[in-house]
Structure 1
Amino acid sequence: MYCLLPIWRPLLVTAVLTIPQTAIAHPDLAEFETTAFTEEPSIVDCILANGEQSTCYEITVGYLPEGLEIGPFCPRHLSDEGGIWNWTGENAKLYRIDENFLRMLDDLGYRFFDEDGTVHVVDIATQQPSVDHACINVSPAKDVTISMLLPVNPVTADQPTPLGTVGKVGVALNGVPIFSDAPSIQQTGHMPALDTCGGHIDPGGWYHWHATSTDIETTFEAANVEATCALEQRSSALFGYAFDGFAMYGSTDSDGTMPVYLDACNGHVGRTIRGADYHYHASEDFPNLPPCLTGVQATDNFSTTATAGIGAIRAGEDGRNEPPRPDSGGQGPMPQAFDDAATALGISIDTLMEALHSSGQGHPNLAVAAQTLGVTEDALRAVLPPPPEQ
């Protein structure tokens, strides 16, 4: 049974709809900006998460698209104005990071500034916070590249895949990777500030988004936030492709009307400039991204040349690039205990290992890994196997 909603709101369907094969459109690399890739994309053999052999587009992008304006992130002083943050505690909503917001957090027991108004700003790529609450502002690493896989022919999953916190969502048309919601202050104590397009820099030094940035001002209007994104705002525009290969659009259909009969992942079969096909829509609430994916991703679909952060890799004994084992510097097979830990946390083994690898060099920093995963350090420590005796 459907609920009756005001006609200007999208109708939501709580279950994921069966998608007709005729409504499945493959990613079109011609839609990407010409400067998005650092090398020519190719088609490679890949394995989907359901075990199927398939083919994927392999695309490689840089740490930041050419000409993209980013920032501000953390304000240096209470008198400055930073980016944005989606506060999920008391008085929950999207805020501009300014004096009013930081003083509200202070009243709630989260002090992000000194008595003189200097904001606690930390670059976690070079140091760990020495205070309980810091604003995270990472420096870029201009030599880093990111490689991603998109299925050439999307395949629908038996069940949708929840994205949770810092889940891999997809890639924008300018090459910027897209991830689900950043870890909350309540989970980590710290605030990895987003700029006014909803992005920030990973500990590996590359920029990514936590929002449908070409329609983010729709969320600003809904939350009464005074901010603008330097990108052109078009609520009906194609934003990018999810990692299952399905397209991602803004909050309205191609004719400017609100989409109807959206499924649990904020997707539907509707008319686009490419015809009637299945695609996702942004929401009016931040983060305005799909909460889940209806299709199947490729395994090992995200890696970087960075030495830290999500997707950082190194060569194992067999010469393959793989996340290092946190207990042995990256060598040898994955112990079953880590599979069990991932299951206990409700995440994939790839997500767990990426978080552990990105948190330290050889020896993971569990506080940072827990922050990445959106859990407490105690919860993470409780499910991980003990390190081997030295």
Structure 2
Amino acid sequence: MTLCMNHSVTWLLAGSLLAPTFAVAHPDPAQFDQSAFIEAPETVDCTLDNGTEAQCYQVTVGYLPDDLEIGPFCPATLDDAGGIWEWTGENAGLYRVDGDFLRMLDELGYRFFDDEGNVYSVDNATERPTVDHACINVSADESVEITMLLPVDPIKADTPSDLGTVSKVGVALDGVPIFSDAPEIQVTGHMPALDTCGGHIDPGGWYHWHSTATDIETTFAEENVAADCALAQDPSAQFGYAFDGFAIYGSAEADGAAPTDLDACNGHVGPVAGGEEVYHYHASKKFPTLPACLVGVQAQNNFSTTATAGVGATRAGEDGRNEPPRPGDGAPGAMPPGFEQAAETLGVSAEALLEAMEAAGGPSADLAEVAAALGLDEEALRAAMPARP
């Protein structure tokens, strides 16, 4: 195992989004909660998205850290309080998923409960909703393992990569993967509710964050949400690393001050713990709190799981061992032929495209819904997509 402590290198960027010259901190596996790892982190050969042969830290974690308490997600009735959800329609904002919120959605045409006040809830890993609007409450799969890659030496991309719906963002210091926004209710009809720390379970059975969990109470205060997260809160603490290798911090600098001169990805060169001035991302105070884009180059195939559904899913090989999905596989999470090329053409991740397709009905998905979920032009999506079997 090779551990790279928090040292820095000089990075010269001509005409870039960032400052002309500054120090770049390497990812440091020693900063992670070591109990999160199924296998000790190691340095491996990898290929970056721009074709550069490089070195990456490979980390393997389980479906959920041992000491992390998750939930609640969906309330059982209108008298209960579940997790949180960002509603993007009329009366947009971050809400606690409770009776008041669900009654508001009902008035807007989205009914999530029956006449007795019981909330429609479905485990999306094992069943499909039988109603127009259901709260998604996926069960965990304790057998799932997740493998992720972080570049040892971060490299700036020619242009930032936008993070759309269900894009890979990075990994938190507790080993939990970080993803961008979940699909909107207006697109899928359903609500994969987050718990009060901003995470939920993927259809593959593993837990992941959709928010900066160690600074989420700053967001609750900003948006007047009555909720608490059981995790220790520190707006100036490091939350994790983005998949380009740059650190993600809370909404404050190391001295507690508000960060300044943030770029389009909510990052900048500034002091971190220890006084170094390096490039890093900051959380936003309003939801969604994660960066909207990444400035660096990610590793190819940087996220895989042993799950048989959801993002990064694998399939069972003939010898019973898990293998990556192969083009043309019909299992959920498999990458059909032409998807990666279509995603590249559209400027989204292949995983995000596949997730949006699955959320909108799978192979027969309504492409108008998929385009809306990903913020794409429908005609451009239709032109880029491979022919359906």
TM more than 0.5: yes
Q: Once the 2 structures are TM-superposed, how far is the Cα of residue 348 of structure 1 from its aligned partner?
A: 3.2
Match of 1:7 in 2: none
| Change in CA separation of 1:357 and 1:135 when aligned onto 2, cut-off 3 Å | closer
Match of 2:29 in 1: 29
Match of 1:214 in 2: 214
Check the 8 A contact 1:150/1:297 in 2, yes or no: yes
Q: Which runs of 4+ in 1 moved over 6 A?
A: 327-330, 357-360, 367-373
Given the alignment of the two structures, is residue 366 of structure 1 paired with residue 368 of structure 2, yes or no? no
Given the alignment of the two structures, is residue 278 of structure 1 paired with residue 279 of structure 2, yes or no? yes
SS in 1 for 2:25: coil
Match of 1:5 in 2: none
Q: Which one of the candidate residues 323, 326, 349 is aligned to 1:324?
A: 326
Tell me which amino acid in the other structure corresponds to 1:143: S
Match of 1:11 in 2: none
Tell me which amino acid in the other structure corresponds to 2:214: T
Aligned counterparts, 1:131-280, within 5 A: 131-274=131-274, 275-280=276-281
Given the alignment of the two structures, is residue 293 of structure 1 paired with residue 290 of structure 2, yes or no? no
Cα separation, 1, equivalents of 2:335 and 2:186: 35
Q: Deviations over 1:70-126 (max 9, x none)?
A: 000000100110000000000000000000000000000000000000101000101
Q: Once the 2 structures are TM-superposed, how far is the Cα of residue 344 of structure 1 from its aligned partner?
A: 5.5
Given the alignment of the two structures, is residue 43 of structure 1 paired with residue 43 of structure 2, yes or no? yes
Cα separation, 2, equivalents of 1:211 and 1:334: 29
Check the 8 A contact 2:164/2:375 in 1, yes or no: no
Match of 1:306 in 2: 307
Tell me which amino acid in the other structure corresponds to 2:40: E
Check the 8 A contact 2:335/2:354 in 1, yes or no: no
Q: Deviations over 1:165-190 (max 9, x none)?
A: 11100000010000011111011110
Cα separation, 2, equivalents of 1:52 and 1:228: 43
Q: Once the 2 structures are TM-superposed, how far is the Cα of residue 342 of structure 1 from its aligned partner?
A: 2.3
Given the alignment of the two structures, is residue 114 of structure 1 paired with residue 114 of structure 2, yes or no? yes
For structure 1, the 5+ residue unaligned runs are 1-14
Check the 8 A contact 1:74/1:82 in 2, yes or no: yes
Check the 8 A contact 1:219/1:285 in 2, yes or no: yes
SS in 1 for 2:39: coil
Check the 8 A contact 1:250/1:282 in 2, yes or no: yes
Cα separation, 2, equivalents of 1:51 and 1:138: 37
Match of 2:93 in 1: 93
SS in 1 for 2:103: helix
Match of 2:54 in 1: 54
Match of 2:126 in 1: 126
Tell me which amino acid in the other structure corresponds to 1:325: P
Match of 1:4 in 2: none
Q: Deviations over 1:269-315 (max 9, x none)?
A: 10011411110001111011111001110010000000101000237
Q: Once the 2 structures are TM-superposed, how far is the Cα of residue 255 of structure 1 from its aligned partner?
A: 0.4
Tell me which amino acid in the other structure corresponds to 2:78: L
Q: Once the 2 structures are TM-superposed, how far is the Cα of residue 325 of structure 1 from its aligned partner?
A: 2.6
Match of 1:63 in 2: 63
Cα separation, 1, equivalents of 2:146 and 2:82: 27
Q: Once the 2 structures are TM-superposed, how far is the Cα of residue 323 of structure 1 from its aligned partner?
A: 3.2
Match of 1:74 in 2: 74
For structure 2, the 5+ residue unaligned runs are 1-15
Cα separation, 2, equivalents of 1:99 and 1:106: 10
Tell me which amino acid in the other structure corresponds to 1:28: D
SS in 1 for 2:353: helix
Cα separation, 1, equivalents of 2:62 and 2:367: 24
Counting matched residue pairs gives 368
Q: Deviations over 1:302-343 (max 9, x none)?
A: 0000010100023789x994433346679x9974x4355325
SS in 1 for 2:187: helix
Moved more, 215-224 or 338-347: 338-347
Tell me which amino acid in the other structure corresponds to 1:280: Y
Tell me which amino acid in the other structure corresponds to 1:263: D
Q: Deviations over 1:335-382 (max 9, x none)?
A: 4x435532564323454356668999xx85637996799259995777
TM-score, normalised to structure 1, is 0.86
SS in 2 for 1:352: helix
Cα separation, 2, equivalents of 1:18 and 1:301: 27
SS in 1 for 2:186: helix
Cα separation, 2, equivalents of 1:73 and 1:162: 28
Tell me which amino acid in the other structure corresponds to 2:365: L
Cα separation, 2, equivalents of 1:287 and 1:301: 23
Cα separation, 2, equivalents of 1:294 and 1:19: 14
Cα separation, 2, equivalents of 1:368 and 1:204: 23
